[in-house]
Amino acid sequence: MVIITLLIISPLIVLPVIEPLFLTIILPIAGIILLIGLIILVSQGLLIGLIKGAGVRVSEKQFPDLHKVIIKQCQALGIKNIPKTYIIESAILNAFATRFAGSNYMILFSELAELILSEDVEKDVVDFVVAHELGHIKRNHITKKLLVYPSLFVPFLPQAYSRACEYTCDRIGTKLSPTGAVAGIKMLAAGKKLARKLNVKAYAEQTQQGEAGFWTWISEKLSTHPHLSKRITPEMLKADFIATASGKNTYFEEKEKPKTISSTKESIDDIKKAAKPDDYQSDDHNKYLPK
């Protein structure tokens, strides 16, 4: 994206210097670019205004438990500009991070907020979802996208960049909440109740089956997010297994109650396939599992 942006911008700078007649072409193009920038600025301002007016601001007085998670994870990630977090009403399981006028914002749709904050959902899932969104802020994805704006008009390229950003944020979320990552993706895929019965191995393999085909492939290439079944990576499964075996479910604190053997067994085969043989010959991880 950087290379394509330079290829587009460089002629607009060099050609007028070499041949002044090109100014008649360059100036209208520059005007169009400025107009697009102004439209983006106004639309972003209107979006933030709507969120501030209709959304619910997360703070010490409003959803304090969620606010504590955000503060704690910002400190772990070294984010000094704490994002202003809002919950807005929507039936979509989604969240996003954005930036406007020097401030970071994190928006949680109410359907997702209700799901992760319900009493019967483990706290590590909340940690993962929040850490994933904070990952966009930590890696400056919003600013980077603006800097390479000309390349966003190339077919398939901006979607590929966006999917790469999502994988990056999944890794950040897995680091801060290794046991919440797989559970969080399962919950997004099947909902709170059915997630407990979801077979991770079968779900991760379903896009590799013969019936997936061309339309499954092209739908992902046109999407800003990877298919959920592909986001449960071998690295994520391995992190979940090691964290469960050691009893530490988050980056911050020791786990109070280990998972049962049945909730751990289904991913062991996948982890062994993805890992090197030496990883499992040096130690017997079964000794960490509850009797």
Confidence of residue 279 (pLDDT cuts 50, 70, 90): very low
The H or E element that residue 109 is part of is strand 103-109
Which pLDDT belongs to residue 268? 53
Tell me which of 28-42, 51-65, 148-162, 173-187 is least confident.
Answer: 28-42
- Considering the chain, what percentage of its residues have pLDDT values greater than 90? 40
Which pLDDT belongs to residue 265? 52
pLDDT, tens digit, 9 for 90 and up, residues 146-182? 899 889 889 999 999 999 999 999 999 999 999 899 9
Distances (CA, A) of 141 to 95, 163, 165: 15, 12, 7
- Whether 152 and 217 have beta carbons less than 8 Å apart is answered as no
Which pLDDT belongs to residue 123? 86
Per-residue pLDDT at 288 exceeds 50: no
Tell me the C-alpha distance between 236 and 239, whole Å.
Answer: 5
Confidence of residue 195 (pLDDT cuts 50, 70, 90): confident
Which pLDDT belongs to residue 267? 53
Q: Which long-range contacts (CB under 8 A, 24 or more apart) does 106-113 make?
A: 106/70, 106/130, 106/133, 106/134, 106/137, 107/51, 107/55, 108/58, 108/133, 113/66, 113/87
- Whether 111 and 167 have beta carbons less than 8 Å apart is answered as no
Which pLDDT belongs to residue 257? 47
- Whether 148 and 5 have beta carbons less than 8 Å apart is answered as yes
pLDDT, tens digit, 9 for 90 and up, residues 242-263? 888 887 777 775 444 444 444 4
Output the average pLDDT for the chain.
83
Per-residue pLDDT at 280 exceeds 50: no
Q: Dmax of the chain from CA atoms?
A: 81
Q: Indicate the pTM of the whole model.
A: 0.78
pLDDT, tens digit, 9 for 90 and up, residues 73-83? 999 999 988 99
266 residue type, one letter: E
User: Taking residues 284-290, what's their average pLDDT?
Assistant: 49
